[in-house]
Amino acid sequence: MVQGGLRAQRAAVTVEVTRRALATVGLLLVVAVAAGCNGGADESSDGTTSTRVTEPSSSTTEETTAVTVGIICTTAEDASQSLVDAWGSDDEAAARRCATDEVVDELFLTDGTGNTWMSQGCDRTDPGIPVCAYTYEGGAAFLKVEGTEAEGWKVTGLEFVAD
């Protein structure tokens, strides 16, 4: 008891141990016990001793979890240009990296190979949802982009305007 009726308490200590570390410690214990007990020792006629140590027959594997790490588009411009470039290369998988399935499905209804779309930049009137404009002969396309630098940007809307 500490003066005033309060009792001193110890801080909790947490230790994390992996399966591989436990297996290594277990193997070392087996080797130490075998050596200490002189198990498997052979004495030769000249008075020397040799020890044989064998590893356990069971194997240990470390449990792993697969994590898919995607490449994100770090700006609205990157997301819109990646979509347009993928469409021009007829690469739907690449297009889905920085655009929603709905946008990719709509854009790929037509063949984008050889398109002449020219970026006119992104309007940031609403900074959270910029709209990137592309012009081409006969019209324009407006790509609504949503996201953040931390989470990445995706094209979430597509609108065409004819001249």
For residue 36, what pLDDT band results from cuts at 50, 70 and 90?
A: low
Q: How far is residue 160 from each of residues 57, 131, 140, 146, 155, measured CA to CA in Å? A: 67, 12, 6, 18, 14
**Contact by Cβ (8 Å): 157, 144:** yes
Lowest mean pLDDT among 11-15, 17-21, 105-109, 112-116: 11-15
Q: What is the pLDDT of residue 107?
A: 97
To which residue do tokens 């929603």 refer?
Answer: 100
pLDDT in tens, 73-98: 999 999 999 999 999 999 999 999 99
Q: Where does the pLDDT of residue 142 fall: very low under 50, low under 70, confident under 90, or very high at 90 and above?
A: very high
> What is the predicted pLDDT for the residue at 3?
47
Which residues, 6 or more positions from 22, have their beta carbon under 8 angstroms from its beta carbon? Answer: none
- Rounded to whole angstroms, how far apart are CA atoms 35 and 119? 74
pLDDT of residue 33: 44
* Mean pLDDT for the stretch of residues 136-153: 94
Please give the domain boundaries of the chain with CATH numbers for all domains: 1-64 (no CATH), 76-162 (3.10.450)
Q: What is the pLDDT of residue 63?
A: 57
Determine the Cα–Cα distance for residues 68 and 132; give it in Å rounded to an integer.
Answer: 29
